[in-house]
Chains A and B, each alone.
Chain A
């Protein structure tokens, strides 16, 4: 094939780089590789080096001290709590996201008036900067001025002796550990839901209509059609949505930092926020790096799974 191409070139001579497929492929992929090395590879290597050193923000020079930071981090009860919280926060958020995004995607497949507006509104949280959106939620959960509390009081659920939620005037969303974690999860679900819905919509749209129609003709109930056709056919793409959501949630700092700063009493502290407090605010860069590296195994496994899923989807 190559010989044919060379022979066909007017003027003959040596082939340029554009004619050598292998070299051209490397050339074209080079910017992406360089980008990954510079933006991900180098900081990762630096994080590993920092975690093995005694670097501080005031003295970032590298004096290696072995695995001392990892040992110190593992002994820290706040770290262990943050590790547990990270899993709880991530898994709960993503489970809710998958269920809600499926419901939303199904609804958005149906024709109805103002569908474009609904789609736009659903996508809005994804387009807004995370910090801005979270600041908006901070007001929603405010201890004094929460509009949610106002509605609950208006409905008589809060602030009366017989109120279902108690006689106090406010819920104190961010001041009670369980409610604070729930608030953090709600905001994260709000943020990730648009992406997951769009992915699910794509999956549902790709199911051949004749398959559904055939099942209907055969008398399959909607529940059976969902179980036997929709779920199996959309599983690969739903899994990808789930895994992407895990990556976004597992590494998120903004929601926790803006809403609770890890409180009350560290009850919403997660690995990324604890990394920031320890590594930057407290100045212990080395321990901060060590804490952040505990996210790596989980993220690596998720990345491998995403790639496998993507390949499987490609084959299908």
Chain B
């Protein structure tokens, strides 16, 4: 009987090696080449929306449905907004992760590591009309000619005031100028014991408020060509104004302001005016209806020369990392999202506004009561802000009507220029809120402005060296 030959170690390694190579090469031989591009997956990372029903009732289902219709497995992961920068940095650095990452501020610092989405914007404009300029300025770098993110929507940042308090003070229609906040807001604080709530802290809302103030005082961090222009007499004027406002109408809580302070103060009945999206009002509707009924809205307040601008509160900015594996799916999904933005508006309870106002409303059941005569998103926008579908029973009609023309008085971070990484760093390191807070706490306005100007110039010079920011000074 012949002795059975056992597999030697050498034979085993040879066989295993051939197997591994075969397994690696086989798909390229037997699967048609086009199959490489037609991936069947899409991974999306988005923030946890302030309106919880937006994620549960709209976004997750919408993405899954689109995936089913296109034979694509869609994964949607939600994270808190504070985690977005570190998570994005980690994924970019590792060269793997999600195909689409949503930011709520312009992610311009990631430009070198993300794909140019100019083609998606072009396609979207062909299909849905012109993109709103503030969205364009928040996503396109004119120096590199690159569209580093795609923006399907944004959020309005109006003033919210308590009508009963302002009526008693003699200004029932609410403030129209920044000076009104001192005149009437100060009076409300003195006579009714309720302060104003405009953050002067190291956080998002304070940053937006600071920008709105500066723009309304005809000054800004940069000009349209990205030259630093912060250190000028108009900025000093705005800073002096804020010091007066703090003294007359606010308390030290504004130095500890956080993203939830607006909601807290309004719901607790401890703010006569805040500068925030309608989310604080929506929270009040659910938690303290009697206060919600007393909340009314104002457009951007006007400065001493009649200018009035408000900062977009949220700008939904999608990036596609260069190493993303499912680029085509990501682009298709973005276009589909724009085409269905009526649902994003509705399920966010009007928190989201569209970037493409001329998008036609798709036919069929859209999940909300049809609006007579509405053909485009603009029609819906106007109709819903005229007659809020989420108003409480017995609540006054047309409270949100002032938001109808918000696009005229809203602008982007970086105004009058584009968003850029230098503006982003000025934002992330709280230069403006601290400039205002410093003066409010007793520093000389001129000194506070000079220090902020110096810090800003250093930041701009650094990013300019990287060719991501234009301008010369």
List residues of A whose CB falls within 8 A of some B CB: 54, 56-60, 72, 75-78, 142-145, 168, 170, 172-176, 180, 260-266, 276-278, 280-285
B64 at the interface (CB under 8 A from A): no
Check A175–B109 contact: CB distance below 8 A.
no
Could you pull out 22 A-B pairs where Cβ atoms are within 8 angstroms? A56-B421, A76-B455, A143-B252, A145-B268, A175-B252, A175-B253, A175-B254, A175-B255, A175-B256, A261-B430, A262-B430, A263-B255, A263-B256, A265-B438, A265-B441, A266-B430, A277-B428, A280-B86, A282-B425, A283-B89, A283-B110, A285-B89
Cβ-defined partner of B253 (8 Å) among A58, A170, A265, A283:
A170
Please measure, in the bound complex, the distance between the C-alpha atom of A60 and the C-alpha atom of B92, giving whole angstroms.
8
List residues of B whose CB falls within 8 A of some A CB: 85-86, 88-89, 92-93, 109-114, 200-203, 251-256, 261, 264-265, 268, 270, 421, 424-425, 428-430, 434, 437-438, 441, 451, 455, 458, 462, 465-466
Check B256–A260 contact: CB distance below 8 A.
yes
Identify whether the interface residues of B are mostly helix, strand, loop, or mixed.
helix
| A281 CB contacts on chain B under 8 angstroms | 85, 428-429
Task: Closest B residue to A171 by CB, please name it.
Answer: B252
Check A144–B270 contact: CB distance below 8 A.
yes
* Residue from B86, B202, B441, B462 whose CB has the most chain A CB atoms within 10 Å: B202
Please measure, in the bound complex, the distance between the C-alpha atom of A70 and the C-alpha atom of B109, giving whole angstroms.
21
Task: Closest B residue to A58 by CB, please name it.
Answer: B110
Please measure, in the bound complex, the distance between the C-alpha atom of A262 and the C-alpha atom of B433, giving whole angstroms.
13
| B430 CB contacts on chain A under 8 angstroms | 261-263, 266
| A284 CB contacts on chain B under 8 angstroms | 425, 462
Q: How far is the CB of B254 from chain A (nearest CB, A)?
A: 7
Check A282–B424 contact: CB distance below 8 A.
yes
| A266 CB contacts on chain B under 8 angstroms | 202, 430, 434
Identify whether the interface residues of A are mostly helix, strand, loop, or mixed.
loop
Task: Given A56-B109, A57-B88, A265-B441, answer yes or no on A174-B428 (Cβ-Cβ < 8 Å).
Answer: no
Please measure, in the bound complex, the distance between the C-alpha atom of A316 and the C-alpha atom of B152, giving whole angstroms.
69
Q: How far is the CB of B197 from chain A (nearest CB, A)?
A: 10
Cβ-defined partner of A172 (8 Å) among B113, B200, B253, B437:
B253
| A76 CB contacts on chain B under 8 angstroms | 455, 458
Please measure, in the bound complex, the distance between the C-alpha atom of A143 and the C-alpha atom of B200, giving whole angstroms.
14
Task: Closest A residue to B426 by CB, please name it.
Answer: A282
Task: Given A143-B261, A145-B268, answer yes or no on A283-B109 (Cβ-Cβ < 8 Å).
Answer: yes
Task: Given A57-B110, A282-B429, A283-B109, answer yes or no on A174-B256 (Cβ-Cβ < 8 Å).
Answer: yes
Check A57–B109 contact: CB distance below 8 A.
yes
Q: How far is the CB of B322 from chain A (nearest CB, A)?
A: 10
